[in-house]
Amino acid sequence: MKKVSIRVVGSVQGVGFRFSTKLVADQIGVYGIVRNEPDGSVYIEANGDPEKIDLFIEKIRNSPSPSGYVDSIIVEELPSLKIRDKFTISN
């Protein structure tokens, strides 16, 4: 089980980014949360098999939303994150 937090910066709010992220997570079989942050970034927590998490990170890096674009992402592996059993959109 791999658990990561991801901070995504770019054109990621108001472009369907959270919805597209959930679709990708559901397709791959990754669980967690995605939410908009006040600074215009998007925050993601994800857990799952290491190979699935790596694929998920690549999909996020390339922007799951066709209307958005990603300038940068910061990924941290955090074993202390809560294990989630579904992927949800917050706020």
- pTM for this entry: 0.96
Q: What is the pLDDT along the chain (91 residues), one digit of tens a residue?
A: 999 999 999 999 999 999 999 999 999 999 999 999 999 999 999 999 999 999 999 999 999 999 999 999 999 999 999 999 999 999 8
Predicted pLDDT at 80:
95
Rounded to an integer, what distance in angstroms lies between the CA atom of residue 49 and that of residue 73? 20
Domain range for 58 is: 2-82
CATH number of the domain at 44, please.
3.30.70.100
Does residue 68 sit within a domain? yes
Does residue 22 sit within a domain? yes
Query: What is the number of structural domains in the chain?
Result: 1
- Residues 6 or more apart whose CB falls under 8 angstroms from that of 53 comprise 2, 4, 30, 46, 47
Does residue 87 sit within a domain? no
Active site residues: 18, 36
Does residue 13 sit within a domain? yes
